[in-house]
Amino acid sequence: MPRPDTAAMLAAFRADLDRAQDPAALDEVRRLHTGKKSPLKESLRSLRDLTPDERPVVAQQINEAGAAMEQELADAAVRIEARADELRIEREWEDGSLPGLAPPRGSRHPLSQVEDRCTEVLRQLGFTVVDGPEVEHPFYNFDALNIPEHHPARDMQDTFWVDGGWLLRSHTTTVQARVLEQRPTPPIRVVSKGRAYRNEAVDATHTAMFHQYEGIWLERGLSFAHLQGVLSFVARSLYGDGRIRFKPKFYPYTEPSVGVDLACRKCDTAGCDACHGAGWVTILGAGMIHPKLLLAFGYDPDEVSGIAFGLGTTRMAAQRVGIARSASMYEQDQRVHSRMHRGGR
């Protein structure tokens, strides 16, 4: 029986190993040259056919060849893995000095930004923010605000009624009524903000749901001059040093009542979408708190007086981003948000 040729085994093994370029090919070389049916294993099984003197010498040669194969297989695995890493780095490499691809930035809703700005302005005058429910009792929505049963605002065409005789508040003034009901000691300076609901036809400037921002100031000695001063400060803080005017208005819960108009900065034709050619845009309504309200909540009108004002933040936000349709504020139109992100108009 001829001795196993370990030199030929190693030569064939190394030729196949040089051609292996990936882990799968390396596994195939290991199977062919060190597996159960490989020439190396067959030569081990053939040792029984050798003479006792030859057997130890040949066994040592076979073991040395097997050890060499295992070591070279391990070295090849490290080499192939390192090469794979190099190729992956080359494939995935990016120049870190190049500018990145920034995704589009989001922005807060225009209404939220306007409300925050109003709060920032009024906090300078000592006002704090309070909140209240949107599903309200008629007492706080009407009776407590000097709106009798025969007032048109109680008709179904204006108010959304819900089960149990309750309603969706038609203004945020309800929050102020709840504050006064607790009879805090003056001075009282609070503002409320949020959604209000009216059963109106939706058009370019009206929606069934909209946002308001209202405030009251109750203290001894307040006069109409204080009202004008507060409103002028608020208007100019929000809109800059444009022309403003006061005009008579009617509100059941204030007496006297005024509206504040801002000179339209966009108006150059009769087709202006902000003021419809009038030259002025109404930005808020206000007045001195009606004496009946003070009496109803336990305050003496001869001792204290109050200021109440309200801003339509939906209209303000629409004006700020330069859109004519107030309904667009609630339609999740990404163009509205992108205009706000660019700073509006």
209 and 65 fall within a common domain = no
Q: Residue 326 CA to chain centroid, in angstroms?
A: 21
- Domain with 58, as residue range(s), is 6-92
The confidence score (pLDDT) of residue 93 equals 80
Q: Same domain for 82 and 114?
A: no
pLDDT number for residue 267: 60
Neighbours of 142 (CB within 10 A): 23
Point out the domain boundary residue: 66, 92, 118. 92
Same-domain status, 217 and 117? yes
Does pLDDT of 158 surpass 60?
Answer: yes
- Residue 345, pLDDT score: 43
Whether residue 66 sits in one domain with residue 215: no
Residue 204 sits in the same domain as residue 290: yes
Q: Are the C-beta atoms of residues 65 and 6 closer than 8 Å to each other?
A: yes
Q: What is the pLDDT, as a whole number, of residue 344? A: 45
- Is residue 207 packed enough to be buried (19+ CB in 10 Å), middle (13-18) or exposed (0-12)? buried
**pLDDT at 2 (0 to 100):** 65
Q: Exposure of 129 by Cβ count < 10 A (0-12 exposed, 13-18 middle, 19+ buried)?
A: middle
**53 and 198: one domain?**
no
Residues 16, 118: one domain?
no
Assigned domain for 200 exists: yes
Domains of the chain: total? 2
User: Does any domain span residue 19?
Assistant: yes
| pLDDT tops 50 at residue 308 | yes
Domain boundary among 92, 119, 144: 92
- Do the domain assignments include residue 282? yes
Q: Which of 295, 58, 314 is nearest to 207 (CA)?
A: 314
Residue 97 lies in a domain: no
Q: Are residues 24 and 161 in the same domain?
A: no
Average pLDDT over every residue of 21-37: 86
DSSP bridge partners of 135 = 168
Name the domain boundary from 92, 125, 152: 92
What is the per-residue pLDDT across 126-135, written as a single tens digit (0 to 9) for each?
A: 999 999 999 9
Say whether both 205 and 277 belong to one domain.
yes
User: In this structure, what DSSP letter does residue 158 have?
Assistant: T
**pLDDT interval class at 124 (50, 70, 90):** very high
Both structure tokens of 186: 């003056």
**What value does the mean pLDDT take over residues 163-184?**
91
How far apart (Å, rounded) are the C-alpha atoms in residues 85 and 82? 5
DSSP classification of residue 2: P
Q: What is the mean pLDDT of the chain?
A: 84
- Looking at the fold, whether 88 and 115 belong to one and the same domain comes out as no
Q: Where are the beta strands (DSSP E) in the chain?
A: 128-130, 135-136, 167-168, 188-197, 209-219, 244-251, 254-263, 280-289, 305-311
Would residue 102 count as lying in a domain? no
99 located within any domain:
no
CATH code where residue 165 lies: 3.30.930.10
- Residue 320 belongs to a domain: yes
Global confidence as pTM: 0.64
Residues 142 and 237 in one domain: yes
Least confident span in 92-101, 131-140, 186-195: 92-101
Q: Is the residue at 104 inside a domain?
A: no
Same domain, 152 and 207: yes
